[in-house]
């Protein structure tokens, strides 16, 4: 959706989003954008009704370039049979943090057959995603390039205060360690909770703020209770104004393991915030490595030490360091992503696919 918004500024493109099912958290937001979009009306990922196949075929034939962001064998086959150039973007659904399902294994097998047969060009959001995709899905045979995901960066001065007064009161005059995340296995929020508990043992002016929701919410509440930090922890639930919460954090921690990329780290760096990640963070590590190696930690004990560093220096406002963080985030704008993607479109149209 963000990519399509950025593509509206490109006079050489006309885009349309094709969506399988009319459900999900972003449908209302999509309608607000005014982006051209069509719902296929699939009941599920295995819907092969003739009307569905016909609609897919007709929509694909209308296009010059088909850009697919998630693998569905039925959709991909119909795209391939249209004879049009297909760009496939690997966003990194690699089964981490959850049990691998039978359908995952089936799609993995089918992707090894279908992707090389029909794909003109493949893009990856990180080196980590490319390495795993080449191994798991046989994509190394396809011409490709790494294009990091991008976001719309805003000036931190335009960020409003946290809308919930109770949340504002809870963190008032406190040193806030926070994260904004889906509560799922790959995010490894247990590591953040354990590291914060070590850090908070001898401190009464610190808060752990967990912004988000997900299937592990109850488990996270149990971890907080087990570490005896309930009085120092704020679980905000899902927040649409997440930027205001990020801006209220003194240190942002993303404890993900094997994350494909991690735009949330770009968001907090764009606010000039210290952003800590773990050494096994996957693609998220690539955002901060070399520039901020001191904010890469091995384990919960090192996380504790790094939090102590920022706590002891909490009154320091190093403008040069803040600018470095914001400049790093500026490398990951949606506009730069759009430019790189358009170059891929141009190459795919002008050259035969390399198999």
E strand segments, 144-232: 144-146, 175-180, 206-211
What does the angle CA 57 – CA 338 – CA 137 come to, to the nearest 5 degrees? Answer: 60
- Cα–Cα separations (whole angstroms), residue 236 to 25, 56, 134, 204: 18, 40, 38, 20
Q: Is 116 exposed, middle or buried (0-12, 13-18, 19+ CB in 10 A)?
A: middle
DSSP character at residue 282: B
The span from the CA of 93 to the CA of 72, in Å, is 12
Query: Is 50 exceeded by the pLDDT of residue 353?
Result: no
Span 101-158, pLDDT tens digits:
888 888 889 999 999 999 999 999 999 999 999 988 889 989 999 999 999 887 666 6
Span 226-265, pLDDT tens digits:
999 999 999 999 998 899 999 999 999 999 999 999 999 9
Span 26-63, pLDDT tens digits:
788 888 899 999 999 999 888 999 999 999 999 999 99
DSSP character at residue 50: H
- The pLDDT value given to residue 355: 42
pTM score, whole prediction? 0.87
- The pLDDT value given to residue 6: 95
- The pLDDT value given to residue 181: 94
Among the residue ranges 160-169, 204-213, 345-354, the one predicted with the least confidence is 345-354
DSSP character at residue 151: B
The span from the CA of 318 to the CA of 273, in Å, is 11
Among the residue ranges 28-37, 175-184, 303-312, the one predicted with the least confidence is 28-37
Among the residue ranges 86-95, 163-172, 318-327, the one predicted with the least confidence is 86-95
Structure tokens at 212: 């988000």
Q: Say whether 156-332 and 2-152+334-350 share the same fold.
A: yes
- Cα–Cα separations (whole angstroms), residue 328 to 62, 254, 323: 39, 17, 9
Which CATH fold would you assign to the domain 156-332? Rossmann fold (3.40.50)
Query: Is 70 exceeded by the pLDDT of residue 97?
Result: no
CATH architecture classification, 2-152+334-350: 3-Layer(aba) Sandwich (3.40)
Domain ranges of the chain: 2-152+334-350, 156-332
282-311 average pLDDT score: 96
Give 163's pLDDT tier (boundaries 50, 70, 90).
Answer: very high
Structure tokens at 69: 């962001």
Q: What are phi and psi of 235, to 5 degrees?
A: -100, 110
């Amino acid at each position: 959706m963000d990519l399509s918004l950025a593509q509206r500024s490109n006079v050489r493109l006309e885009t349309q989003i094709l969506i399988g099912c009319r459900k999900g958290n972003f449908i209302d937001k999509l309608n607000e954008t005014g982006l051209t979009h069509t719902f296929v009306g699939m009941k599920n990922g295995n819907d092969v009704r003739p009307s569905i196949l016909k609609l897919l075929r007709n929509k694909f034939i209308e296009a010059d370039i088909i850009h697919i962001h998630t693998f569905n064998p039925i959709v991909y086959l119909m795209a391939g049979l249209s004879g049009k150039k297909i760009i496939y973007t690997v966003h990194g659904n690699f089964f981490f943090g959850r049990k691998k399902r039978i359908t995952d294994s089936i799609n993995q097998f089918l992707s090894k057959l279908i992707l090389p047969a029909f794909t003109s060009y493949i893009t990856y959001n990180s080196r980590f995603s490319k390495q795993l995709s080449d191994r798991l899905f046989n994509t190394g045979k396809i011409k490709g390039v790494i294009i990091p995901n991008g976001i719309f960066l805003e000036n931190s001065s335009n960020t409003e205060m946290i809308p919930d007064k109770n949340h504002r009161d809870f963190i008032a005059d406190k040193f806030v360690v926070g994260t904004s995340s889906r509560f799922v296995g790959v995010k490894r929020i247990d590591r953040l909770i354990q590291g914060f508990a070590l850090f908070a043992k001898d401190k009464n002016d610190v808060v752990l703020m967990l912004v988000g929701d997900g299937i592990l919410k109850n488990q996270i509440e149990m971890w907080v209770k087990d570490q005896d930090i309930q009085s120092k922890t704020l679980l905000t639930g899902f927040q649409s104004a997440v930027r205001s919460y990020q801006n209220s954090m003194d240190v942002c921690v993303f404890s993900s393991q094997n994350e494909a990329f991690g735009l949330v780290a770009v968001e907090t760096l764009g606010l000039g915030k210290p952003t800590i990640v773990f050494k096994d963070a996957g693609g998220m590590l690539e955002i901060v490595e070399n520039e901020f190696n001191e904010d890469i930690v091995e384990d919960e004990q090192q996380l504790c030490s790094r939090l102590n560093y920022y706590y002891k220096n909490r009154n320091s406002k190093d403008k040069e360091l803040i600018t470095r963080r914001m400049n790093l985030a500026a490398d990951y704008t949606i506009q730069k992503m759009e430019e790189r993607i358009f170059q891929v479109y141009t190459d795919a149209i002008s050259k035969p696919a390399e198999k």
